[in-house]
Amino acid sequence: MDRRNALAGMVALFGAQVFAPIARAAGLAPGAAIPAIDQGVPSLQVFTPDQRALMTVLCERIIPTTDTPGAIAAGVPTYVEKLLADWALAEDRVPILSGLAEIDARSRQDYKVPAVLARPEQQDALLTLAMNDELPDGEEFFKAFRQMVVVGYYTSEIGITQEREYLPVPGEYNGAFPYSQVNKVYSA
């Protein structure tokens, strides 16, 4: 399975509300004939080192390491930066960059530390504020950021093979298979 096909499948799950750079990378938007998303370095530097560190920490808060690897191990921060550098227009980057700035400012206000140094439960609270639109343009940031993280994770090798079980040709069909015996969700 290649990443572009996996992206197209993820776009279908999100429907019309998909973040524009994801649609471009999946080849579902005009002018999307660009090399595969996971090849090469980003064409421009999207984040400052502090923004990159915060974005990385927040990726891991959205899909943390549990009994399976989290977002960082799956390379999601690199995917997010590549997506924003090579498939996003300048206006697509605005909610992400401003959202990171708002989260950091709120962390400094509430916790007296930069968001990247906040405790995990504080970072979760900051993401919840964004999700509930309790930060300026927080909901716009959260929806776009979460989509990038989820798509990046579930189109990565780790997401496809360790979080889910990849069966290119599933076994026989059993319409009466007990749901209680399902161990993993399968991706194809």
Q: Per the domain annotation, does 67 fall within a domain? A: yes
Q: Which residue has the tokens 């530390």?
A: 113
Q: Per the domain annotation, does 171 fall within a domain? A: no
**Chunked mean pLDDT (size 10), the chain, 188 residues:** 56 59 62 54 89 97 94 94 88 95 97 97 97 94 94 88 69 76 66
10, 155 contact by CB (below 8 A) = yes
Q: Quick one: pLDDT at residue 44?
A: 85
Environment class of 36 (CB within 10 Å of its CB; exposed 0-12, middle 13-18, buried 19+): exposed
Q: Per the domain annotation, does 72 fall within a domain? A: yes
Q: Quick one: pLDDT at residue 127?
A: 97
Range of the domain at 103: 3-166+177-187
Q: Per the domain annotation, does 172 fall within a domain? A: no
Q: Quick one: pLDDT at residue 26?
A: 62
User: Any idea what DSSP says for residue 161?
Assistant: I
Q: Quick one: pLDDT at residue 187?
A: 61
Q: Per the domain annotation, does 136 fall within a domain? A: yes
List b or e across 13-23, with b for residues whose CB sees 16 or more CB atoms inside 10 angstroms.
eeeeebbebbb
Q: Which of 6, 1, 101, 8 is nearest to 55 (CA)?
A: 101
What does residue 118 show for φ and ψ, rounded to 5 degrees? -65, 155
Q: Per the domain annotation, does 158 fall within a domain? A: yes
Q: Quick one: pLDDT at residue 38?
A: 53
Residues forming beta bridges with residue 21, ordered by sequence position: none
Q: Per the domain annotation, does 156 fall within a domain? A: yes
DSSP string, 13-73: HHGGG--HHHHHHTT-STT-----TTSS--SS--S-HHHHHHHHHHHHHHS--SSS--TTT
Q: Per the domain annotation, does 38 fall within a domain? A: yes
Q: Quick one: pLDDT at residue 61?
A: 97
What does residue 14 show for φ and ψ, rounded to 5 degrees? -80, -20
Q: Quick one: pLDDT at residue 166?
A: 63
164, 186 contact by CB (below 8 A) = yes
Q: What's the total number of domains in the chain? A: 1
Residues forming beta bridges with residue 187, ordered by sequence position: 166
8, 37 contact by CB (below 8 A) = no
Where does 112-137 have alpha helices with state H? Answer: 120-131
